[in-house]
Amino acid sequence: MKEPSSPAVSGGIARTDATGTAEMVPELLAWTTSLSHDRHLVREDLLGSAAHVTMLRKVGLLDADDAQKLRGALFAMFDEATKGTLVIPDGEEDVHMAIEARLTTDLGQTGKRLHTARSRNDQVALALRLHVRDQAARTLAETTSLALELAERARREKDVIIPAYTHRQRAQPVSAAFVISAWANALLRAADALAVAIDRANQSPLGCGACSGTSLPIERDVVAKVLHFPALTANALDTIGDRDFAIDWTYAGARVLLSLSRLATDVVDFTTSEFGYLKIGDAIAAGSSMMPQKKNPDVFELVRAKSARGVGNLSAMLTLVKGLPTGYNRDFQDDRQAVLDTGPLVRGAVRAVRAAMVHLAFDPTTCLAAVSDGSTQATDVAEALVRKGVPFREAYKATGQVVHLARERKIDLAKVSLDDAKAIHPSFDASVLAVLDPRVAVAAKKSAGGTAPERVSEQIDAIESAAKTLAARAASIPALEDLKRSIEAFSIA
């Protein structure tokens, strides 16, 4: 069978007599082009070029007329890209050259001035940093919104008592609010990684050239200012070979997905008939094509599955840069798929959890019944004995004997009589056995980070405070449309 033909490409703008006058082999150009992915970076690239033109005009490398024409054409293309009407034809190695080729066609000699004092190396680095900064900020905003929603949900679930688990076995009683707070804290640690990714991307690389800067009288600070970068990268050679910010981005994305995956696993478990702690609302339940009784938590299973792609994106970036020599290498072209996939992937999962959580309801009766036999309060019994002066290891062993007695008699630990307990250790009394009530056990843990209602309230307050701080960090990053206005405000008359 004949394979489908490759897109028609010629690839001429980045070729000279030194490169060779013959066009590159079409099949190889089609195979090496990054246009299919680069099209998703077109708005960032157009803004970077507009900022570059602004700087070239300021330092006198462009006259006012050429600068006006170039910036006007770039902004017009940006508007087209925003509307989804911009056509980037095949024929160049990447979107950066395709844009320059169009400008040269439309503006003639003026278009040929765009690439003054710039290499594709620092141009690509700028577009990627703008993309990562924008995507990480948008993802951070949605992640913190979920954290705030979890905090609000936790406030409503303080009175629901549910088992906590270690080794996948019932461990100790906690409140549902405590479990939800655990989910939110894990999510906030991932959100911290997003904030770090923003900071790592938030340096302007333009002006580093191919690897050593330029002899032309540029001012890198101008580009940084109009694009709202607070700092410049420090070393040109390092800059054009740096994808650490992209690694940080894919790492942060994987972290968010992993936290959602663990939350999703709890939800999947809690909604089973074996647990029965959560009820799935009809609006998010999935059925079976064969079994009419099924009410499946497919949304959360798919959220869990998405983490595989997130981890894959991080693994791809780590493997891509492993062993590369210092400086730019064409290998970096393959960073696009991981970098571009991460934002939509993570935000899609966050949105799914946000939309689905409101359709989950705890069953307080089933949750309480799971800890009402007293077995999960064994540690509380031992600690009650300690409060009466019994050494912990002695209290631990005495409690273990009571648990053994209950098992031998096939009764709940909560039903062991005071007389039987005192026969094992004289320090047992009614106050010690009172902690077998799971609500008493939950309320007793007043240590920082514990399950007592006042401690859980503190945790929820801390979640809300941290989420709001991180949300403010996200809001401080200008959107691409804001950057366009920033460039337009910089006079090139």
Cα-only R_g, the chain: 30
8 A C-beta contact, residue 164 and residue 442: no
CA 143/CA 470 separation, integer angstroms: 9
8 A C-beta contact, residue 438 and residue 444: no
- pLDDT by 10s per residue, the chain, length 493: 334 443 444 445 565 555 665 677 888 877 877 767 778 899 999 999 999 999 999 999 999 999 999 999 999 999 999 999 998 877 677 788 889 989 999 999 999 999 999 999 999 999 999 999 999 999 999 999 999 999 999 999 999 999 999 999 999 999 999 999 999 999 999 999 999 999 999 999 999 999 999 999 999 999 999 999 999 999 999 999 999 999 999 999 999 999 999 999 999 999 999 999 999 999 998 887 777 777 889 999 999 999 999 999 999 999 999 999 999 999 999 999 999 999 999 999 999 999 999 999 999 999 999 999 999 999 999 999 999 999 999 999 999 999 999 999 999 999 999 999 999 999 999 999 999 999 999 999 999 999 999 999 999 999 999 999 999 999 999 999 999 999 999 999 8
Question: Would you state the pLDDT for residue 255?
Answer: 98
Number of CB atoms found within 10 A of residue 269's CB: 16
3-state secondary structure of 117: coil
CA 476/CA 474 separation, integer angstroms: 5
DSSP classification of residue 133: H
Number of CB atoms found within 10 A of residue 358's CB: 12
CA 215/CA 238 separation, integer angstroms: 18
CA 101/CA 337 separation, integer angstroms: 24
Residue 443 in tokens: 């309320």
Alpha carbon separation from 96 to 103, 214, 215, 264 (Å, rounded): 11, 19, 22, 41
CA 270/CA 363 separation, integer angstroms: 10
8 A C-beta contact, residue 86 and residue 43: no
Which residues are catalytically annotated? 167, 288
Listed residue (132, 138, 92, 47) closest to 317, CA to CA: 132
Assigned architecture for domain 375-444: Orthogonal Bundle (1.10)
* Look-up of token digits 């405070």: 465
Q: Quote the pTM value.
A: 0.92
Provide the CATH topology of domain 121-369: Fumarase C; Chain A, domain 2 (1.20.200)
8 A C-beta contact, residue 140 and residue 191: yes
8 A C-beta contact, residue 51 and residue 206: yes
Question: Would you state the pLDDT for residue 318?
Answer: 98
Question: Would you state the pLDDT for residue 9?
Answer: 40
Q: Burial level of 190, CB count in 10 A (0-12/13-18/19+)? A: buried
Provide the CATH topology of domain 26-116: Fumarase C; Chain B, domain 1 (1.10.275)
Listed residue (195, 204, 196) closest to 234, CA to CA: 204
Question: Would you state the pLDDT for residue 301?
Answer: 97
**What angle (nearest 5°) sits at the alpha carbon of residue 25, between those of residues 20 and 28?**
120
Domain boundaries, the chain: 26-116, 121-369, 375-444
Listed residue (98, 38, 92, 29) closest to 334, CA to CA: 38
Look at the chain and count its residues.
Answer: 493
CA 432/CA 386 separation, integer angstroms: 10
DSSP letter string, 34-50: -HHHHGGGHHHHHHHHH
CA 92/CA 81 separation, integer angstroms: 18
